[in-house]
Amino acid sequence: MEDDEGRLFTRSWTTEGKLGISLVLARVDGAVRVITAKREALVAVNGCRINVETPEDFAALVLRLSLERPISLAFERLPRTDAAALREYERRASELLDGKAAYNASILRARGVGGEEDVAAALLLLRKSANLGVVRAQLQLARLYSTGRGGVKRDEDEAVRWYCQAAKLGSADAFYELGLLYDKHEQLWCFFKAAKLGHAKAQDLVSELAEPLLLDEDPPFDFWHASDPPVEDPPDHHDPPRVKEEEEEEEDFATF
């Protein structure tokens, strides 16, 4: 049995042909629990609560589950600490190339939640998420380049390139932001595309135009130049990030 917080015991029980789940014995927030890969704790078997504290108890439980039929299992969702969440997001970003996990880890690192504030690490994670096709990360990276905040030097060309990447994935916000950066016909084309995708401000801007553009026509400029592979080198760092307070969703954090 491992004493380190969050480390898993070596024994596991897989019920491929029966229940399709895998159970492990783990220490979670100081308590020993039987958990699944989805961070749910097994609390009862056939209506009776279980008490498993040692590997021997776990072995007996595995034997019981293997013999008893029918089996009814009851689970409860485990709370996740900030430190545990950060470790899990960084693990998924590194091992599974999970773009959303990389994005969430970047926000936690930038805010110093669950660990030390690390601007350089936050930016590397944000860039990784953007390279993996996460639109929110691409938008945030574009905003950082556009404003020069968050530890990057202001670079409008980079901002446009990342906005174009997000726009190619259907982001109304990206088309709107591009419209703010362009002039004349290019600007109108971007606003119309944003409006077609449901962007409220873009819809207001184009609602009074007498001759609407053909929204499916080719762009009046080299819009698709952003198809080039993103630059992998990390940005330069100078100032700490400014955290923009936004309403947060579970496992889907607000921007820097």
Q: What is the pLDDT of residues 52-107, one digit of tens each?
A: 888 888 888 888 887 776 678 888 887 767 888 898 899 999 999 999 999 999 99
Confidence of residue 26 (pLDDT cuts 50, 70, 90): confident
Q: Is the pLDDT at 213 greater than 70, yes or no?
A: no
Query: Average pLDDT over the chain, rounded to whole?
Result: 76
Distance of CA 177 to the CA centre of its chain: 22
d(CA 26, CA 53) in angstroms, rounded, equals 10
pLDDT, tens digit, 9 for 90 and up, residues 168-193: 999 999 999 999 988 777 888 888 89
pLDDT above 70 covers what percent of the chain? 70
Most confident by average pLDDT, 101-115, 177-191, 204-218: 101-115
What would the mean pLDDT of 145-164 be, rounded to a whole number? 92
Q: Is the pLDDT at 34 greater than 50, yes or no?
A: yes
pLDDT at 208: 62
What would the mean pLDDT of 211-236 be, rounded to a whole number? 48
CA dist 243 → 108, 109, 256 (Å) = 11, 11, 4
Q: Is the pLDDT at 46 greater than 60, yes or no?
A: yes
pLDDT at 206: 81
d(CA 125, CA 127) in angstroms, rounded, equals 5
Q: Is the pLDDT at 256 greater than 80, yes or no?
A: no
**What topology is assigned to 82-227 in CATH?**
1.25.40
3-class secondary structure per residue, 122-188: HHHHHHHHHHCCCHHHHHHHHHHHHHCCCCCCCCHHHHHHHHHHHHHCCCHHHHHHHHHHCCHHHHH
d(CA 125, CA 162) in angstroms, rounded, equals 15
Confidence of residue 20 (pLDDT cuts 50, 70, 90): low
H helices then E strands: how many in the chain? 9, 6
Amino acid at 105: A
Q: For 26-35, 133-142, 236-245, which range has the lowest pLDDT when averaged over its residues?
A: 236-245
pLDDT, tens digit, 9 for 90 and up, residues 2-19: 333 333 333 344 444 455
pLDDT at 222: 58
Domain boundaries defined on the chain: 8-77, 82-227
Q: Output 214 or 151, whichever has higher pLDDT.
A: 151
Go through 197-217 and write b for each residue having 16 or more CB atoms within 10 A of its CB, e for each that does not: bebeebbebbeeeeeebeeee
Q: For 34-43, 128-137, 211-220, 221-230, which range has the lowest pLDDT when averaged over its residues?
A: 221-230
Q: Which residues contact 157 (CB under 8 A, 6 or more apart)?
A: none
Q: Is 165 exposed, middle or buried (0-12, 13-18, 19+ CB in 10 A)?
A: buried
Contact 13, 45 (CB under 8 A): no
Contact 235, 152 (CB under 8 A): yes
Collapse the DSSP code of 182 into the 3-class scheme (helix H, G, I; strand E, B; otherwise coil) and give the result: coil
pTM over 0.75: no
Contact 216, 230 (CB under 8 A): no
Contact 105, 89 (CB under 8 A): yes
Residue 47 CB-half CA count within 13 A: 2
Task: Look at the block and give the residue holding tokens 């996460």.
Answer: 134
